[in-house]
Structure 1
C-alpha cells in the first residue's frame, strides 16, 4: 500500500510557491494602477453602469461589496458587484475590473455556452471536489482500489470547472478591453497597457488554478496506479 506523497508532489509544491508569486504580482499590479486616475475620471461603478446601459442591461444593478478584489458578477440574481475601492475610485484598475465584470453580464445575456455550462456544473462539481479527497483517502486507508479510483474520477470531473472557467474569464477580459478602447476610456497608450496588465495578472490566477488542479489529478492517478 502506497502512503507516499505521489510522483507529482514536487510539482504541486512548486505550483503552490508560484501561486504566492502570482498573487503578489496581482496585488502589485492592481495597486500600482489603482493609484492612477483614468482619463475620464470615472469610478468603477460609473464605468460599469455605462457599459451595462450601452449593452441593453439597464436592469442589472451595480452593487458595492466589502473586501479586497471581491468583485464578481452573480448570474443568479443578475448583479454586478464591485469591491469598495473599485466602486468608488476613478482609477485604471477600477475601470478595468468593472468592465471585466460587466463582460460576464454580457456573456450571460448572450448565453455564452461556456458560462452556461459553468453555471450548470457548479453544484455537482463542488460536491465532487468536496467528496473526491474523502473517497480517495478512504480507499487508501481501507485498501479498496475501486474506491481510490472513484475518488480520482470525481476529482477529474470536478477539474472541468477550472477548465471551463478559462475561456469565460479570457472572453470577459477581451470584452472589457475592446469596450474601454472603443469608448476612449483608456486614452493614453500607457493607460491601455495598465488596464491590460491588471486583467492579465488576474487571468494568471485562473491559469494557475487549472495547473494546480491538473497536477493534483496527475498525482492522484500516480498514487492510484501504485496501489493497484
Structure 2
C-alpha cells in the first residue's frame, strides 16, 4: 500500500526496550550504527509520544475506514533495526557490509490498520520519518532468528545475516528461492554487479541517469563514506533490468 510521511520531534527520556534484529554477526563483519541503549530509549519516547500517536490517528491508507483517534497505538517496546548495504562495501573499500537505515516500530492507525513507524537517526537525534502500511519489518525480524535484518531496497529484498552467512527471507523480490544461503563475499559480488557502476562519480551518475530518483522521497542526511546506503544512487528502470523485478522505493509501496 502507499505510505504516508510522518515527522515528529524527538522526546527525551529513558525506557527499557528490546531491539530485534540488531545482533548475531561477529565484530569483523557486523553492521555499523547499531542502536545503543540510549538510542532505544529515545526511540521509545519518540514513537510512544503524543505527536506520533496523533499522526497515527490521522493516517489513513487507501481502502481503510474512517480514523478513530482513540484507537491509534504504537508498541515502542518492540523495535526492529533495519540495515542496508553501504556503497563502500559494494566497491570493496570497506568490510562493513551494512549501515543502520531506520528502526521500525509496529503500530496501529486510528482505524486499527496495521502500520509501522520508522525512526531515523538524524544527527544526534531521532526523528519519525514515515508511517508505512503493514508490519513487514517485525515479521522479517522474527524470520531472521538472531541474525540482523538486511534490506536491499532497490529490489525490495530482505536477508538475515549471521556472521558470514546471508540468507534470503521469504517474500523477497530476488529471483532466488527463500532460504538460499550465500557467503558474505558472494553477496558482495552480486551487489557489485548490480550497483558498482551507478555509485556517485560514475559515468551513470555524471550523465544524470538517476533522473532524481532518491528512493525516500525526502532529504537524506549526509553520512560518512562507510555508512552511505546504496539506495540514493540507483534508478528504478535500470534496476528492473538488472534484478528482473519491479523496484519498490521507500515511501511508495511495500
TM-score (normalised: structure 1): 0.26
Q: Which has the higher contact order (CA 8 A, sep 6+)?
A: 1
Higher helix content, 1 or 2:
1
Q: Which has the higher strand share?
A: 2
Higher-Rg member (1/2): 1
TM-score if structure 2 supplies the norm length? 0.24
